[in-house]
Structure 1
Amino acid sequence: MKQMRTWILLLLVVQSASAQRSRYPDVLELRTEPPAGKSITGNVFSDKGAWHAYALPLRKEDNGAFIGPLLMDMSGKWLSGSFSRLSLFENDQNIDLAAAKATATYYPGLLQQDLEVAGLVIRQQLIFVSNREALLYTGVVNKTGRARHLELRYSGQSQGITAVRNAIQVQGFAITFPEKTMLMADSLQYVAKWDVAIPAGGKYEQTQVQAYFPDGVRPARRYDFADELKKNETRWNGYLARYFPPASKLTAPEKRLAVKCMVTLMTNWRSASKDILHDGVFPSVNYQGFYGVWSWDSWKQAAGLATFFPQLAKDNMRCMFDYQDEHGMIADCIYADKKENNWRDTKPPLAAWAVWEIYRHTKDAAFVREMWPKLVRYHEWWYQHRDHDRNGLCEYGATDGTRVAAAWESGMDNAVRFDSAVMLQNGKGAWSLNQESVDLNAYLYAEKLYLSKLAAVAGSRGDVYRSEAEKLRQRISAQFYDERRGYFYDRLLGAPGHVAVDGPEGWIPLWAGVATPQQAAAVKEKMASPEKFSTKIPLPTLAADHPAFDPMKGYWRGPVWLDQFAFGTEGLRKYGYSTLAAKLEAQLLEQAEGMLTDGPVYENYHPLSGKGLNARNFSWSAAHLLMILKNK
């Protein structure tokens, strides 16, 4: 019994240690020179769904400043390189902060800068306290044996500054200073000053509220920084405790990767604003074209978020379904200005899977009941609007009859398998490609199984979906599998044969569970082949021996996308190939650029070199890595 109590105590100690945010400094490199304008490719920090972000200073001349803010609405732009810059004066002489002994650290949920100069110890901390507001705390300790009389200043520059009492506003961004601030401002710059007397060994503290309101400036609230910092730490430790099991098998670098993925998702989190009615997650804060919320991105992000922040996972689902149309369709993407929403296409049907993942982690039956009728309508929409010949097998398509929008609907925008496809009209505002896609129908099969399980939770009948799933399983196995090539392919409407392009769509039947054991074994051989898919970073989106294989320029013609990678290794595990799945995952983690360092998570990776490609800090990559690490 004593040994059992000791073992339990050790488990609790391990869990407690893994769940302390102080153990994960700088999981992502945030130090940068002040950027300008719309150059938004650097790593930044945001939290609580706020629409602004910051970074840490890199240069010694930026000591005393946090970089930013970056303002985010329909696009991103820097308000200033450093809009809140600290300076100190004593006897009218500037205390040179560039000469200070300085450290700048990014903890999950917290930016911190410590300076030591001229007998003073200065700490600046920045946290988010709401979906619009951040607090900037400044503490100055007098380490000398004499009283110090200082003038403390904060200053910044930008166009369009206005001052009101102890606050300044510019372009929807507002700073509210403590009472009794001496504030001077014109339209281009401001200076806020305080005369400070600090006794020997004493301390001066102040907190300012920095807020960005894309949807209209509101009065600042008052906050107690010490109290808010404690709540901030408790919240982030809670995320970590939820993700890391008591006896996690993850190595220290893998734990840091998991935390990096969490902060990636949290920095891409945007709260409800304007026409976005629930909180959602952008694909990437670092790419101007991704300042919106996408549908299948949201399904994947929700599944990953469910591992540590289920409430955001639920809202990420809701924000897309807020715009479900009268037919059941979900838009490809939505924006803070709904006039920009893309209704030309939708995205692959993984919504029921995501809701099931949320339920699996939360057992929230009320959320399932809320989503159930919406999921049913979305599922049925595919058969009403994307089954050209009404044979029960669906095609990707578009509402506007364009092939480019139909390819977008697959999510694999420029995949080789669509190069020769043409459009067929199904009805008003409904078009299909002239090929039935194996991944689409495998996803629909999986959705039927998830709907049948969700039906039991929602108190509805799921028998029809189980019956439909079995019929569809048999058809996919028989009609999309090529015996001679040992792989699954799309098939043309009204023509024999398959669209014989080796891509990730061919292993989605393993993820969905529709392949026979013999079919799975043949697909596994291709996945394990160095000539095909077992490249340095495994499971590229086009076989390496295909003439169109071009990872640097191909987007979906060669790079490794982590959603398709994760579906591939999960499919292998489903059919008993766990050793191969673990090997491929280890290759990814060990050889992809920046994965186990402080580099960002990328949109995709070069399968031959491991180089990170396209957008940085990509949300669905982070979400799938959180799920991949759970396989340890």
Structure 2
Amino acid sequence: MRRWLILILGLSLQQANAQRSKFPDVLNLRAEPPAGKSILTNVFSDMGAWHAYALPSRKEDNGAFIGPLVMGMEGKWLSGSFSRLALSENRQAVDLSSAKADISYLPGMLQQKLEINNLIILQQLIFVSGREALLHTTITNKGVSARTLNIRYYGQSRKSITVDNGTSSVQSAGFVSVFPSGTVLTADSISYSASNDGIVIAAGKSYKQTQVQAYYPDSVRIPATYDFGKSLRENEIRWNTYISRYISAAPHLTDSQKRLAVKCMVTLITNWRSSAGDILHDGVFPSINYQGFYGVWSWDSWKQAVGIVTFHPELAKDNIRSMFDYQDEHGMVADCIYADKSENNWRDTKPPLAAWGVWEVYLQTKDTSFVKEMLPKLIRYHEWWYANRDHDQNGLCEYGSTDGTRIAAAWESGMDNAVRFDSAVMLKNNEGAWSLDQESVDLNAYLYAEKLYLDKLLAVAGEKARYSAQAAKLAEQIRSKFYDAKRGYFYDLRTATATLVTVDGPEGWIPLWTGVATKEQAAMVLRKMNDPRKFNTKVPLPTLAADHPAFDPMKGYWRGPVWLDQVAYGAAGLRRYGYKKEAAKFEKQLLENAAGLLTDGPICENYHPLTGKGLNAKNFSWSAAHLLMILKNK
């Protein structure tokens, strides 16, 4: 925590506090205690913790926070509420459900304030590490005479519960709650009670209690004790630094856009998991709300890093490192990794955006040591593509797989079920390396950009450039072989017949993002992007032209929904060629028409281009990361 005190960037504490207080409830975290394995609730986590909470939505849950949700290979609600507050006075229960309640979510903290019978009850929940959270309760007597209260916390678990009065702890399935010394603990198989009876609170005075609630995905232990006041100040400083870092660099944002930026930050931080098991560096899950996303993905991580570095540089670096920890001896990076490495997916990798990610981290941090650390790995990864994904060795690569399956090859593109791959077949390159029978324009445009980024990184490391000639040759191939002058668009190329796969998708504007298109080609691509029959939809730039027979946003995944990374690449590409107004128009349509972005709704994986409805996973990390890029570039 000490380093966060140093990273205030010259802000006074008073200025920093003003930042946090401006952004209550950027995301609606109110929920009923969840049933079963549903993990669709918006939740709060922080500091890479493997557990999360929500706010109560019902009066009968006053005095409780919902959860925890605990995470491993999947997410599970350990309890609807593991710690519920109950008060009694003179043997009469205080009905907290009838209290005046002020319940809120501030960045980095859940809070509820209850007022009843001249008592003010303030409960605050913050995280203090990648394993531990603090639940702090302050009960203030606003009456004119002393009050004697019995104060009890109680709860249930979906797993067996044990208590230890010696350590004042309650344990259940890796979750540990430690109460103040002197608390009397009792339990049966799945429920417990933690009582402090006969607490006298003088008039105008307060009683305070701090619980440590920890979840250990690896080895369970009794957590340390904490000074809540000190921890709260550190929490405020850290979150105000996040917010101030980003917003001070984007003073043009409106109030609603600032709230969206903060929502992007809390989305990314909630999806952050600290190193555990076989995840060796901290990484960011794609979404806490989808069981299939409880791991770390490669191109997700590189995209996320570019957004995260704008407010948390060290997490951005570790997010990239987490994937390269498993780079193999040939230079390949796995598609995704898990806390159990036996589950890692080596059937494919993902598009080569890692050098871009490292370069963007360097631009924000000027950390040459990070560049030198990553550069050899990036070079090995770049060379791997040409050794394993260039079937005819003509300098143009294809997406492929290690197991010869077309589905894994389509996954490698990141556009899992894109129409352009429907008729593709597999070609064997060598043992453990197969390619689709089409050279993809986006892949080769990414590789062109990667050559330029590698030369920039080599210069930072004090080494000679080595890729400029290759980049120039590749640029000419992309411009001449992948572009259809009649249609005014870029397409994939069939290797055997040298014919173009004329499906209009976002891969066609990637040459603008990488800067490889000519000015004339960019102008023609813009015409297609601007066509309301194709890409200029209510929420713009869908992943398949709206006039294609297979266009189906509700079922299509990459056959119609709007993915925010592709919008960001499209807008940035247009800006690169001087089309600033057109880029701003598309961004405005996105922000105003994608449901929930400018309110307290979750940031979704993708959006319906015609209705604006959010689709698929909620609280999606790379959507949040690319929104931070879009907002900053406006």
Measured against the shorter chain, the TM-score band is: over 0.9
Change (3 A) 1:477 1:541: same
| Cross-structure match for 1:4 | none
CA distance in 2, matches of 1:482, 1:447: 24
Say which is worse superposed, 237-246 or 67-76, in terms of deviation.
Answer: 237-246
How big is the shift at 1:494? Answer: 1.9
Change (3 A) 1:377 1:616: same
| Cross-structure match for 1:66 | 65
Code of the residue aligned with 1:42 in structure 2: it is T
| Cross-structure match for 1:400 | 403
The answer to whether the 8 A contact 2:176-2:222 is kept is no
The answer to whether the 8 A contact 1:286-1:615 is kept is yes
CA distance in 2, matches of 1:258, 1:91: 49
| Cross-structure match for 1:160 | 160
Q: Secondary structure at the match of 1:254?
A: helix
2:417 to 414, 424, 427: 414
Give unpaired runs (5+ residues) of structure 2: 1-9
CA distance in 1, matches of 2:339, 2:382: 26
2:346 to 343, 356, 366: 343
| Cross-structure match for 2:102 | 103
Matches within 5 A, 1:313-352: 313-352=316-355
| Cross-structure match for 2:5 | none
How big is the shift at 1:508? Answer: 0.2
The answer to whether the 8 A contact 2:249-2:632 is kept is no
CA distance in 2, matches of 1:247, 1:449: 27
CA distance in 2, matches of 1:154, 1:192: 5
| Cross-structure match for 2:144 | 145
1:520 to 506, 519, 522: 522
Matches within 5 A, 1:384-533: 384-462=387-465, 464-533=466-535
How big is the shift at 1:403? Answer: 0.2
Code of the residue aligned with 1:392 in structure 2: it is G
Q: Between Structure 1 and Structure 2, how many residues are aligned?
A: 620
The answer to whether the 8 A contact 2:439-2:493 is kept is yes
Code of the residue aligned with 1:194 in structure 2: it is N
Say which is worse superposed, 375-384 or 178-187, in terms of deviation.
Answer: 178-187
CA distance in 1, matches of 2:18, 2:587: 24
How big is the shift at 1:246? Answer: 6.4
Matches within 5 A, 1:20-35: 20-35=19-34
The answer to whether the 8 A contact 1:437-1:490 is kept is yes
Tell me the alpha carbon deviations over residues 83-136 of structure 1, each in whole angstroms, 9 at most, x when there is no partner. Answer: 100000111110000000001100000000000011100000000000000000
Say which is worse superposed, 214-223 or 412-421, in terms of deviation.
Answer: 214-223
Q: Secondary structure at the match of 2:248?
A: coil
How big is the shift at 1:37? Answer: 2.7
| Cross-structure match for 1:555 | 557
The answer to whether the 8 A contact 1:173-1:210 is kept is yes
CA distance in 2, matches of 1:570, 1:360: 17
Tell me the alpha carbon deviations over residues 163-205 of structure 1, each in whole angstroms, 9 at most, x when there is no partner. Answer: 1121010010000000001111122110000021101111000
Change (3 A) 1:246 1:373: closer
Change (3 A) 1:96 1:161: same
| Cross-structure match for 1:572 | 574
Q: Secondary structure at the match of 1:174?
A: strand
2:304 to 301, 306, 312: 301
Q: TM-score, normalised by structure 2?
A: 0.97
How big is the shift at 1:18? Answer: 9.5
Code of the residue aligned with 2:253 in structure 1: it is L
Matches within 5 A, 1:142-221: 142-158=141-157, 159-165=159-165, 166-195=168-197, 196-221=199-224
| Cross-structure match for 2:370 | 367
| Cross-structure match for 1:260 | 263
2:225 aligned with 1:226, yes or no? no
Q: Secondary structure at the match of 1:542?
A: coil
How big is the shift at 1:222? Answer: 1.2
Give unpaired runs (5+ residues) of structure 1: 1-10
Code of the residue aligned with 1:503 in structure 2: it is G
Change (3 A) 1:453 1:226: same
Percent identity of paired positions between Structure 1 and Structure 2: 70
Say which is worse superposed, 154-163 or 285-294, in terms of deviation.
Answer: 154-163
CA distance in 1, matches of 2:281, 2:464: 29
Runs (4 or more) in structure 1 with deviation over 2 Å come to 15-19
| Cross-structure match for 2:386 | 383
The answer to whether the 8 A contact 1:18-1:240 is kept is no
The answer to whether the 8 A contact 1:276-1:336 is kept is yes
Tell me the alpha carbon deviations over residues 513-553 of structure 1, each in whole angstroms, 9 at most, x when there is no partner. Answer: 01000000000000011011000000000000100000000
